[in-house]
Amino acid sequence: MTEGFQALRSTAGPDGTAPFLLGFGSVARVNPYQALLYRSFERHGFAVTPVFDVTRLRELLHLKPMASGVGLHLHWTSSVIGGARNEREAVVKSNGFLGRIDRFKESGGKLVWTAHNIYPHDSRFVDVDLALQQGIAERADAVHVMANATASALGDHLRLDGRKVIVAPHPSYEGAYENYLSRSESRQSLGLDADELVFVLFGALKAYKGLKELADGFDELCRRRTPFRFRLLIAGAADEAPIVQDFVKWAVAHPLVMIDTKTVPQHRVQNFLNAADAGLLGYSRSLNSGAALLYQTFGLPVLATDTPVLREALDPASTRYFDPHSGASSYATNLQELASVSKNFETAALQTSLKEIAPELVSTRFAKALAAKLGVNTLG
């Protein structure tokens, strides 16, 4: 309530025009994605405020008299049923949340949803999560996707009304992280030698990220005779899933792997990415990927799972696509070829590509498109 009230006060027009209050949740402040996405919204008729508990929608409505309108921008849905002990309880939580949305909309609220994932990464009740997402999509006034290929990628799991869809790509992370350390300084801080070819896997360690396939592929690569000295750098909090814990044990024991399983503070991100030669993204299930854009923002070529959405989202000149399930030998060959690319990699084409998804540009276009869908009086 306090942040929403202050957002309305600080974004009112010079003539006292009331902005549209847009609450957003779930809130992910460790990841600057949301801050980048809403960067230009203030200039286009929106007052943006975090909603730390998306089930408490009535509180947004309390601020409606101060605003030209009120809406909720729903991002990740995992918090809705995440604490359910069984499927029946998950269904009750899901239906209860959809009922709250219905009452919110009956009171004049608007709903926006971003399709981040096929379904939540840690879902225990996939069918319930998919039904929840379908209910949200049907109730939404606007559905945000990050690529034109998203609708077809979700085709087996979700039906989208094309009239509601807004395409706004994942912005680059330009300016979001400190980036002043040189390659040599970054490597010195991590104990890496100058002549090592370093692959990085950055971000939370989850089962869907193809961890066993990576371990098998890297082991195969290490058995080959190549002109490179390889090192695998892993940084990100590990969850308790058995496949993740097995991967951590493998990494800790491997002489050519360096792993840090704590959440990386923002000021330390540059140490890992500036020390690397290439980023890895061999996910077994993915829709969008912030990690891929983070790699490319730091000027790294990427090895990524071959999906239509990632082909649309990533710079083609700096991305090598592959099937992470094609076996250890194929994985190793792709790593080896990526190593060759990285040794002679020029960032000029990548930098040009990233300008098209600069945060300011993406945010401005999204704000204007969303204002048109919701009937907001935009200032831009």
Confidence of residue 288 (pLDDT cuts 50, 70, 90): confident
Residue 237, pLDDT score: 95
In this prediction, residue 379 carries a pLDDT of 55
* Residue-wise pLDDT tens digits, 83-126: 899 999 999 999 999 999 999 999 999 999 999 988 888 888 99
% of the chain with per-residue pLDDT over 70: 98
Per the DSSP assignment, residues forming a β-bridge with 303 are: 280, 320
Taking only the tens place, the pLDDT of each residue in 6-19 is 888 888 766 778 99
Q: Which helix (H) or strand (E) holds 70?
A: strand 69-74
pLDDT score of 286:
75
pLDDT at 132 over 90: yes
pLDDT of amino acid 123: 87
Q: Is the pLDDT of residue 28 over 80?
A: yes
SS3 label, residue 331: helix
Backbone angles phi, psi at 232, to 5 degrees: -110, 125
Q: How confident is residue 378, by pLDDT bands cut at 50, 70 and 90? A: low
Global pTM value:
0.92
Amino acid at 76: W
Sign of torsion, CA 195 338 233 274? positive
Question: Residue 380 has what pLDDT?
Answer: 46
What pLDDT is recorded for position 256? Answer: 97
pLDDT tens digit sequence for 313-322? 899 889 999 9
Cβ neighbours around 107 below 10 Å, total: 13
